[in-house]
Amino acid sequence: MKRKEFILKSIGAGVFAGSAATLGCFSSTFAARNNNSLYDLVAVRGGEAHAMFDRGISALGGMQTFVKEGQSVVIKPNIGWDRPPEMGANTNPELVGRVVESCYEAGASNVYVFDHTCDEWRSCYTNSGVEKSASDAGATVVPGNSEQYYRDISIPGGRRLTAAKEHELLQETDVFINIPVLKHHGGASITICMKNLMGNIWDRRYYHQNDLHQCIADYSTWRKPDLNIVDAYRVMMRNGPRGVSIEDVVTMEAQVISTDMVAADAASTLMFGLQPENVGHIRLGQEMGVGNMDLESLNINRLRM
Q: Cα separation of 36 and 127, whole Å?
A: 43
Q: What is the pLDDT of residue 32?
A: 36
Q: Which residues pair with 200 in a beta bridge?
A: none
Q: What is the pLDDT of residue 15?
A: 53
Q: What is the pLDDT of residue 23?
A: 32
226-243 confidence digits (pLDDT tens): 999 999 999 999 999 999
Q: What is the pLDDT of residue 38?
A: 79
Q: What is the pLDDT of residue 271?
A: 83
State the CATH architecture for 3-17+26-291. 3-Layer(aba) Sandwich (3.40)
110-132 confidence digits (pLDDT tens): 999 999 999 999 999 999 999 99
122-177 confidence digits (pLDDT tens): 999 999 999 999 999 999 999 999 999 999 999 999 999 999 999 999 999 999 99
Residue 27 has pLDDT above 90, yes or no: no
Better-scored residue on pLDDT, 27 or 208: 208
52-104 confidence digits (pLDDT tens): 999 999 999 999 999 999 999 999 999 999 999 999 999 999 999 999 999 99
Orientation angle between helical segments 49-59 and 93-105, nearest 10 degrees: 40
R_g (Cα) of the chain, nearest Å: 18
By residue count, the chain amounts to 305
Map out the domains of the chain as residue ranges: 3-17+26-291
Report helix, strand and coil shares of the chain as percent, to nearest 5: 40, 20, 40
181-198 confidence digits (pLDDT tens): 999 999 999 999 999 999
Residue 6 has pLDDT above 70, yes or no: no
Q: Cα separation of 185 and 274, whole Å?
A: 13
| CB 246 within 8 Å of CB 86 | yes
| CB 32 within 8 Å of CB 76 | no
Q: Which residues pair with 230 in a beta bridge?
A: 256
| CB 230 within 8 Å of CB 256 | yes
| CB 73 within 8 Å of CB 103 | yes
Residue 37 has pLDDT above 70, yes or no: no
* CA neighbor of 254 nearest in space, from 196, 304, 205, 297: 304
Q: Cα separation of 77 and 196, whole Å?
A: 8
Residue 30 has pLDDT above 60, yes or no: no
Q: What is the DSSP string of 57-78?
A: HHHTT-GGGT--TT-EEEEEE-
Burial degree of 113 (CB within 10 A; 0-12, 13-18, 19+): buried
